[in-house]
Amino acid sequence: MNDKILRQKDVQDITGLSRSTIYRHVNSGTFPTPIKLTERLIGWRASVILDWMANRPEV
């Protein structure tokens, strides 16, 4: 299985959340934790973000 890695901007575009909101949710445990790609780069697996989107409560 080839799961695409999404960078910060891609996650913001897909979810509609701002950078600070994403990190606030990551810190509270309500958003998937990013994976470390290099010393300075992080990303999220596309399947994890899509699962989160499908299962998040409606606001």
pLDDT digits (tens, 9 = 90+) for 2-47: 789 999 999 999 999 999 999 999 999 999 999 999 999 999 999 9
- Of the chain, the percentage scoring pLDDT greater than 90 comes to 88
pTM of the model: 0.86
Query: What is the pLDDT confidence band of residue 56, given thresholds at 50, 70 and 90?
Result: confident
11-41 in b/e form (b: 16+ CB < 10 A) is beeebeeeeeebeebeeeeebbebeeeeeee
Instruction: Note the pLDDT of residue 58.
Output: 66
